[in-house]
Amino acid sequence: MKLSTPEAQTRYLLLVAGLGGLLYGIDVGIIAGALPYLEASAAQIWKLSTQQLSFVVAAVLLGSVLSSLAAGSLADFIGRKRLMFVSGLLFSLSIPIIALADGYLPLLLGRLLQGVSGGLIGVVVPLYLAESLPAAVRGRGTGIFQLLLTIGLVLAAAIGLLVAREVEAVASSAPATLQTVQDGAWRRIFWLSLPPGLLFTAGVLLLAESPRWLLKRGQRAEALQALQRTRTADVAQAELAAIGADHGPAATAETGSLLQRRYVLPFLLACLILACNQATGMNSVLAYAVNIFDAGGLTGSMANVGDFALKLVNCLMTVLAVLLVDRKGRKFLLMLGTGGIIVSLSAAGLLFLSAERAQIDVIEPLNHRVVSNGLTLDANDVRQLAGRDDYVLELAFSYGPLTQVRTVRPGQELRVAPPQAIDGDSVIGAAFRTAHLNPFPDMQQALNAPLVVERAHVGPPPLATHGWLVLACLLGFVASFAVGPGVCVWLALSELMPTQIRSNGMSVALLLNQFVSTVIAAIFLPTVGQHGYAPMFFAWAGCTVVYFLAATFLLPETRGKTLEEIGRHFAGAAD
């Protein structure tokens, strides 16, 4: 396909590269709508623990960690365009593996593969956009990646909301088939995310390679041709001459160490920004939004409505950020956004703290009801335990390494029985444990372990008003994140580091970013099961204070500067 003007070529470049953001958003957001039904299948069909389910949620982030480290080297070796094609292909392959999974291991492996594609996309697409776009539109252009990312989140939430309404209809009309419908619901949610992956993979084939990568390989004519696709001939010639000294054969040998004095400051600053970005808890809020709203007082499909509202506000505020980022600058937006995040998370933490203080501890009465290493209470028993007709019983228990969390509401009974079989161990895991290298316990030990009730709190259910206040706090959180960190993080990742370390430096910084996100996602369910939601929100707010200070005192303004000018700024600071 031949596009006639540089403006048309630029729009196509942004559309296709932005589809990478769409896939990244689907990577993060699709699990939120699928998780309630996946939890049902995990507990009723596969007998998975809460920790294993957390690993399934976190696996996409772990896959990103694994691929992020290699993404920079791969982008240098095979090129930005080829790596984008590979990442789209891996995403497209992961969907059938997940949707056809019949147990823990294929589900985990499919999510890992999905995460691998996300890690590659998170490095190579911002890298490609930064190297291919003119400086005057680089902020808006890279912001398109985040905009399409938020559209991916909205799309994932919309799919989850539609499926939730279908499941609710079945629950009221044919409750006997509910388990089968729930199992099919989360599979359908994943199937519906396949078309964007196919579109991105096909669209990449018509893109030009990064001109800076081509020039670094000594392909001057090809680099000029790539520049002319998005610039006029005169501008392309002038820019080729300007970047030649930084990317020509003489500079190719000067790859540089990430910890070399002239590179260490921008590298460490990018790592700090990327780590703090995930320490706000954004990915976990998006992944567990339905669960958070359910605990906050918005039950059933209303929790999915809240999830959809979060994703929609995220998208709309990202549009505003894209318009402002080249006008107000990166530093201003980061300070504004992180300040709003601190206020919003602190308010949400106080709301959950007030609700959790109204609960009473009922561990001792429950321990007295344990019979034959199990626990059974009918609906009337639970009502008597609560001492009221309207209540929520939150229970965390374990059989050795097998930990689970249950929520019991009026009319529901509580049944806890020893596991009869455990799905989730593997030959590889057993081999690693033999060598004392596997940090995860042998889940088979749960088969002979006693029942331990770790937390049991009962109290009045949160009012719908409480749920709407929680939603308001999280809307403020998401809006603040979108207008600042959401867009600026990709610019920090691609702009701060000089050419000689950019690809490898981006890999390490994104690796740290995804590692922090993976740890938070992996500990989320066990933490809220043991301690409630308030500590998580307060911890995220504390981390964001560090983010605000870093943006205020350490981050330079990069608006309107070429990548080479930014590199010279840090080189001068190191001298």
Q: What is the pLDDT of residues 486-498, one digit of tens each?
A: 888 777 666 777 6
pLDDT at 567: 62
The SS3 of residue 559 is coil
Taking 50 as the pLDDT cut, the residues of the chain under it are: 1, 247-254, 424-439, 575
pLDDT at 392: 81
Residue 49, domain member (yes or no): yes
Burial level of 360, CB count in 10 A (0-12/13-18/19+)?
exposed
Q: CA–CA separation, 160 vs 189, rounded Å?
A: 7
Q: CA–CA separation, 505 vs 264, rounded Å?
A: 10
Amino acid letter, 165: R
DSSP label at residue 497: S
Residue 95, domain member (yes or no): yes
pLDDT at 469: 94
CATH number for 107: 1.20.1250.20
189 and 85 fall within a common domain:
yes
Residue 1, domain member (yes or no): no
Closest by CA to 534, choosing from 305, 338, 292, 362, is 292
195 and 331 fall within a common domain:
yes
The SS3 of residue 454 is strand
172 and 136 fall within a common domain:
yes
Please name the residues in contact with 26: beta carbons below 8 A apart, sequence gap of 6 or more. Answer: 152, 153, 155, 156, 193, 196
Question: Residue 362 has which token pair?
Answer: 């009922």
293 and 384 fall within a common domain:
no
Q: CA–CA separation, 482 vs 50, rounded Å?
A: 30
Residue 424, domain member (yes or no): no
Other Cβ atoms within 10 Å of 437 Cβ, number:
8
245 and 259 fall within a common domain:
no
240 and 94 fall within a common domain:
no
189 and 276 fall within a common domain:
yes
- Residue 248's domain comprises 210-253
For residues 474-512, one letter each, b for 16 or more C-beta atoms within 10 angstroms of the residue's C-beta and e for the rest, the string is bbbbbbbbbbbbbbbbbbbbbbbbbbbbbbbbbbbbbbb
pLDDT at 563: 62
Instruction: Indicate the pairing of strand 370-371 with strand 374-377.
Output: antiparallel
pLDDT at 28: 67
pLDDT at 46: 65
Q: CA–CA separation, 24 vs 115, rounded Å?
A: 9
Closest by CA to 296, choosing from 470, 548, 426, is 470
347 and 268 fall within a common domain:
yes
What length is written for the chain?
A: 575
135 and 249 fall within a common domain:
no
Please name the residues in contact with 255: beta carbons below 8 A apart, sequence gap of 6 or more. Answer: 500, 501
Residue 369, domain member (yes or no): yes
DSSP label at residue 420: S
**Helix count and strand count (H, E) for the chain:** 24, 7
User: HSE-up of 243 (CA within 13 Å, CB side)?
Assistant: 29
Last residue of one domain, picked from the residues 226, 253, 280: 253
Residue 50, domain member (yes or no): yes
Residue 563, domain member (yes or no): yes
234 and 273 fall within a common domain:
no
Amino acid letter, 364: E
Q: CA–CA separation, 202 vs 2, rounded Å?
A: 15
331 and 379 fall within a common domain:
no
Where would I find the H helices in 229-329?
A: 233-247, 249-252, 261-279, 282-287, 289-296, 301-324
Is the four-CA dihedral 493, 495, 501, 502 of positive or negative sign? Answer: positive
The SS3 of residue 439 is coil
DSSP label at residue 413: -
Question: How many independent structural domains does the chain possess?
Answer: 3
Would you say 196 and 25 are in contact if contact means Cβ atoms under 8 Å apart?
no
Angle of helix 50-78 relative to helix 104-132, nearest 10 degrees, comes to 40
293 and 440 fall within a common domain:
no
- pTM value is 0.68
pLDDT at 427: 41
Backbone angles phi, psi at 394, to 5 degrees: -110, 120
Residue 422, domain member (yes or no): no
pLDDT at 351: 93
Backbone angles phi, psi at 218, to 5 degrees: 80, 10
pLDDT at 547: 93
